[in-house]
């Protein structure tokens, strides 16, 4: 594939196009970062389309649930049992698509 | 004590079709939706095929929210900066009874849910079903995140999407393997109507659907571009295990597709209106859960009804077909006061005699074939190479002849003749 000078929006600008009705009271996904420390694959980091999983210097994983598409990619690729606890947000919260 | 005759979880196309059929049969039905409105959690890869609506909503094309009617269907093979496109146009698809339409899912899903409501269904939005209520092994309702939110009914229809926690809780999915899933990412890019008409060579309400192979780097998958009224959608479908294995992230692969010389002239210059992502049940028949249990049916993406068979990429129609069948079967079982698995098995039989399971069974090998190495790498590389050699005039060198060109290109891209023949035969069998 050739490279091009096609102007690309930053990841922040890309995510800013999406409406998220964030539930400030409850994270619908939690990550047990102690499990992640032993994980060799860390598939969540490259696969999450919202780029919500960030490796920390200490060898763990930092996770932000607020801009989550609720797609399920992370728990499906997570090969460490129990590292990701995944539920849907409370009704009415989370991602809201308009032109999808 | 039951609150309703039936509870349908998820007001996507499967759930709304189920609720519509139940309501029409005179049954009280609660249609639960976790989003603030139907469709607000949903995105897709582009086209709603309308034939399934003919009997469900006669004259649907006069009321369905449509962006454009697809009258041009292209299949593109990309290799490096080259592209070979098979381009089919049929103006007839732009007139009643139509074939396929592009639409925004929040619009389409809300429309279909509205029909269920008009027929008498109770739509309850902003409510997440958090689990099943079970008694003596059978499903008798769902728990929700509303205060005192338990809802009871003799039958629950799980149309809760690809992650279907309800079907999993009911033990209907034996295992979940990431290899059976892809993730779709998509940008909706605004462009003036005249610009779209000019770039894509269409007029009025005509639209285009382009499906692409060879545009996903080292990750098996595919791409798409399609036209809305005043926006175009460009996206990728990407294998989960390959994506997780490292390398390029989804938005980087999407950036490269948008920069490709065959795609950039179509999409450049517009503003990104929305980025979206969703997981797709890719493996079809091979990954389907149990469809029927005591007091529960599963339909739509929750039952892996999405058809990802390369030349056919359909999902909304399969969701509607399965949801409507679930609604009809449930209504009959409620009327007979028997919603046991044995009685509800009428749903599975109905699907088997319809396109829903007939197509999935017939094409059960296709998803794997399309994600295989030959389709992903060999085919686009050899096809583009052959085209280049065919049409590059190298005077004063004489023309090499087609057979030699094909042989040279196959060798260059490591495609052995016997593998190509074997995969070709498999494809013939798979696509019947």
Task: Please state the rounded mean pLDDT for residues B42-70.
Answer: 97
User: Which of B183, B186, B236 should be substituted to probe chain A, the one whose Cβ sees the most A Cβ atoms within 10 Å?
Assistant: B183
Place of tokens 């499990």: A35
- What 3-state DSSP class applies to B229? coil
Instruction: Check A46 against B246: CB less than 8 A apart.
Output: yes
Q: Which residues of B114-153 are buried (b: 16+ CB within 10 A; e: fewer)?
A: bbbbebbbbbbbbbbbbebbbeeebbbbbebbbeebebeb
Q: Which residues from A are below 8 Å from B273, CB to CB?
A: 17, 99
What is the band of A91 on the pLDDT scale with cuts at 50, 70, 90? very high
The proportion of chain B whose per-residue pLDDT surpasses 70, expressed as a percent, equals: 100
Q: Could you tell me which residues come within 8 angstroms of residue B33 by beta carbon, excluding any fewer than 6 positions away?
A: B10, B11, B15, B113, B123, B124, B125, B126, B127
What CATH class does A11-96 carry? alpha beta
Instruction: Check A87 against B130: CB less than 8 A apart.
Output: yes
Nearest to B243 among A3, A46, A97 (CB): A46
- How far does the CA of residue B332 sit from the closest CA of chain A (Å)? 31
Could you tell me how many CB contacts below 8 A there are between chain A and chain B?
Answer: 160
Q: Which residue of A has its CA nearest to B229?
A: A99
Nearest to B178 among A11, A46, A76 (CB): A76
Distances in Å between the alpha carbon of A97 and those of A29, B31, B41, B187?
20, 20, 6, 12
Can you tell me the distance from the alpha carbon of B123 to that of B223, in angstroms, rounded to the nearest whole number?
A: 35
Nearest to A73 among B42, B183, B276 (CB): B183
Q: What is the pLDDT of residue B382?
A: 98
Q: Which residue of A has its CA nearest to B243?
A: A47
CATH level 2 (architecture), domain B6-66+103-174+289-361: 3-Layer(bba) Sandwich (3.50)
Q: Which residues from B are below 8 Å from A11, CB to CB?
A: 251
Q: What does the mean pLDDT of chain A come to?
A: 90
Q: Read off the pLDDT of residues A54-90 as tens digits, 9 standing for 90 and up.
A: 998 888 899 999 999 999 999 999 977 789 999 999 9
What is the band of A6 on the pLDDT scale with cuts at 50, 70, 90? low
Task: Please state the rounded mean pLDDT for residues B203-229.
Answer: 97
Q: What is the pLDDT of residue A2?
A: 45
Can you tell me the distance from the alpha carbon of B12 to that of B318, in angstroms, rounded to the nearest whole number?
A: 12
Q: What is the pLDDT of residue A1?
A: 45
Q: Which residues from A are below 8 Å from B105, CB to CB?
A: 97, 100
Burial class (CB within 10 angstroms; exposed 0-12, middle 13-18, buried 19+) of A21: middle
Phi, psi of B142 (to 5 degrees): -130, 155
User: Which of A20, A73, A90 should be substituted to probe chain B, the one whose Cβ sees the most B Cβ atoms within 10 Å?
Assistant: A73
* B225 closest CA partner among B46, B59, B364, B346: B46
Can you tell me the distance from the alpha carbon of B27 to that of B332, in angstroms, rounded to the nearest whole number?
A: 10
Q: What is the pLDDT of residue B311?
A: 85
Asked whether residue B90 carries a pLDDT value surpassing 70, the answer given is yes
- Provide the residue ranges of all domains of chain A, joining segments of one domain with +: 11-96
What is the band of A3 on the pLDDT scale with cuts at 50, 70, 90? very low
Which residues of A touch chain B, with CB atoms under 8 Å apart?
1-4, 6, 8-9, 11, 13-15, 17-18, 21, 41, 43-44, 46-47, 49-51, 69-73, 76-77, 87-92, 94-100
Q: Which residues from B are below 8 Å from A90, CB to CB?
A: 128, 145
Longest Cα separation, chain A? 45
Q: What's the half-sphere exposure (Cβ side, CA atoms, 13 Å) at B195?
A: 13
Q: Which residues of B304-332 are buried (b: 16+ CB within 10 A; e: fewer)?
A: bbbbbbbeebbbbbbbbbbbbbbbbbbbb
Q: Which residue of B has its CA nearest to A88?
A: B128
- How far does the CA of residue A24 sit from the closest CA of chain B (Å)? 16
- Provide the residue ranges of all domains of chain B, joining segments of one domain with +: 6-66+103-174+289-361, 178-281, 372-431
Q: Are B50 and B60 in contact (CB under 8 A)?
A: yes
- Asked if the B178-281 domain carries CATH number 3.40.50.620, the reply is no
Three-state secondary structure string covering B317-341: HHHHHHHHHHHHHHHHHHHCCCCCH
Task: Please state the rounded mean pLDDT for residues B43-54.
Answer: 96
Task: Please state the rounded mean pLDDT for residues B139-152.
Answer: 97
The proportion of chain A whose per-residue pLDDT surpasses 70, expressed as a percent, equals: 93
Nearest to A17 among B145, B250, B275 (CB): B275
Can you tell me the distance from the alpha carbon of B412 to that of B13, in angstroms, rounded to the nearest whole number?
A: 46
Instruction: Check B276 against A97: CB less than 8 A apart.
Output: yes
Question: Is ipTM beyond 0.85?
Answer: yes
Does this model's pTM top 0.95?
A: yes
Q: What does the mean pLDDT of chain B come to?
A: 97
Q: Which residue of B has its CA nearest to A4?
A: B259
Instruction: Check B34 against A91: CB less than 8 A apart.
Output: yes
Q: Read off the pLDDT of residues B304-341 as tens digits, 9 standing for 90 and up.
A: 999 999 889 999 999 999 999 999 999 999 999 999 99
Can you tell me the distance from the alpha carbon of B402 to that of B3, in angstroms, rounded to the nearest whole number?
A: 70
Q: Could you tell me which residues come within 8 angstroms of residue B167 by beta carbon, excluding any fewer than 6 positions away?
A: B158, B160, B173, B289, B290, B296, B298, B302, B303
Asked whether residue B50 carries a pLDDT value surpassing 90, the answer given is yes
Nearest to B272 among A9, A72, A89 (CB): A9
Strands B296-298 and B68-79: unpaired
Can you tell me the distance from the alpha carbon of B140 to that of B138, in angstroms, rounded to the nearest whole number?
A: 6
Q: Which residue of A has its CA nearest to B149?
A: A91
* B29 closest CA partner among B212, B297, B413: B297
Q: Are B80 and B384 in contact (CB under 8 A)?
A: yes
Directed axis angle between helix B13-24 and helix B105-118, to 10°? 10
């Amino acid at each position: 594939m050739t490279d091009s000078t096609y102007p690309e929006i930053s990841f922040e600008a890309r995510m800013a196009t999406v409406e998220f009705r964030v539930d400030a009271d409850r994270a619908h996904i939690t990550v047990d970062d102690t499990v992640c420390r032993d994980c060799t694959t860390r598939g969540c980091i490259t696969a999450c389309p919202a780029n919500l999983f960030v490796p920390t210097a200490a060898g763990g994983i930092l996770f932000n649930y607020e801009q989550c598409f609720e797609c399920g990619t992370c728990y499906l690729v997570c090969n460490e049992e129990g590292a990701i606890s995944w539920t849907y947000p409370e009704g009415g919260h989370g991602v809201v698509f308009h032109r999808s | 004590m039951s609150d309703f005759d039936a509870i349908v979880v998820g007001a996507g196309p499967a759930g709304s079709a189920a609720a519509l059929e139940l309501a029409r049969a005179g049954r009280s039905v609660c249609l639960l939706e976790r989003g603030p409105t139907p469709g607000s959690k949903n995105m897709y890869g582009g086209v709603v095929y309308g034939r399934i609506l003919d009997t469900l909503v006669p004259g649907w094309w006069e009321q369905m929210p449509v962006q454009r009617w697809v009258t041009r269907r292209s299949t593109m093979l990309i290799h490096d900066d080259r592209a070979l496109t098979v381009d089919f146009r049929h103006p007839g698809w732009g007139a009643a009874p139509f074939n396929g339409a592009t639409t925004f899912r929040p619009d389409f899903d809300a429309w279909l849910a509205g029909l269920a409501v008009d027929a008498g269904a109770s739509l309850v939005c902003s409510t997440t079903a958090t689990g099943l209520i079970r008694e003596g092994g059978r499903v008798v309702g769902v728990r929700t995140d509303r205060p005192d939110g338990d809802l009871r009914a003799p039958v629950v229809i799980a149309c809760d999407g690809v992650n279907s926690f309800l079907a999993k809780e009911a033990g209907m999915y034996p295992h979940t393997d990431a290899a059976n899933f892809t993730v779709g990412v998509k940008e909706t890019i605004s462009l003036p109507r005249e610009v779209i008409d000019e770039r894509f060579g269409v007029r009025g309400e005509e639209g285009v659907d382009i499906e692409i192979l060879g545009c996903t780097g080292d990750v098996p998958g595919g791409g798409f571009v399609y036209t809305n009224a005043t926006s175009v959608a460009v996206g990728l479908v990407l294998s989960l295990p390959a994506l997780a294995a490292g390398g390029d992230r989804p938005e980087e692969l999407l950036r490269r597709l948008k920069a490709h010389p065959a795609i950039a002239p179509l999409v450049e210059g517009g503003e990104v209106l929305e980025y979206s992502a969703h997981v797709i049940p890719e493996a079809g028949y091979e990954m389907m859960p149990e469809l029927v249990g005591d007091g529960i049916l599963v339909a739509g993406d929750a039952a892996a009804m999405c058809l990802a068979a390369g030349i056919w990429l359909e999902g909304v129609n399969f969701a509607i077909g399965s949801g409507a069948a679930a609604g009809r079967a449930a209504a009959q079982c409620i009327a007979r006061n028997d919603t046991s698995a044995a009685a509800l098995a009428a749903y599975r039989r109905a699907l088997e005699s319809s396109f829903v399971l007939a197509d999935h069974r017939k094409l059960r090998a296709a998803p794997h074939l399309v994600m295989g190495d030959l389709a992903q790498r060999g085919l686009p590389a050899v096809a583009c190479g052959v085209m280049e050699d065919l049409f590059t005039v190298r005077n004063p060198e004489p023309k090499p002849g087609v057979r030699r060109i094909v042989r040279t290109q196959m060798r260059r891209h490591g495609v052995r003749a016997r593998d190509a023949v074997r995969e070709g035969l498999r494809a013939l069998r798979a696509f019947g």
